[in-house]
Amino acid sequence: MAEKLPPEYIKELEYASLLHEQAVCDHEKCREFSEKLSDILVELEDMKFYRTADRLMSILINCKPKEASHCEKASLVGEMIKDVAKEAQRSAGK
């Protein structure tokens, strides 16, 4: 069963998903994505949304920003963040 996140965190996850799409060819956006997801993770853990926080941790494990080279796991990370955002939307009834 998915956790019912507060609406502002659903928006944050949607933003992170869009940010990742922009990050595929932009190292600075890639770093921004990683930092944003880390911040969301910490906040969700503090609010005891452990299932979603664990999923974000799995995404971050696969996210390794590299300068001057293409991300080898961009597709995987992109699909993972989209899945988390979609699940959060469904559990909120959107």
**Residues written for the chain:** 94
Could you tell me the pTM of the whole model? 0.85
Q: Domain residues of the chain, as ranges?
A: 7-89
43-55 pLDDT, tens digit per residue, is 999 999 999 999 9
4-51 pLDDT, tens digit per residue, is 999 999 999 999 999 888 877 777 888 899 999 999 999 999 999 999
Percent of the chain that is helix, strand, coil (3-state, to 5)? 70, 0, 30
Secondary structure (3-state) at 62: helix
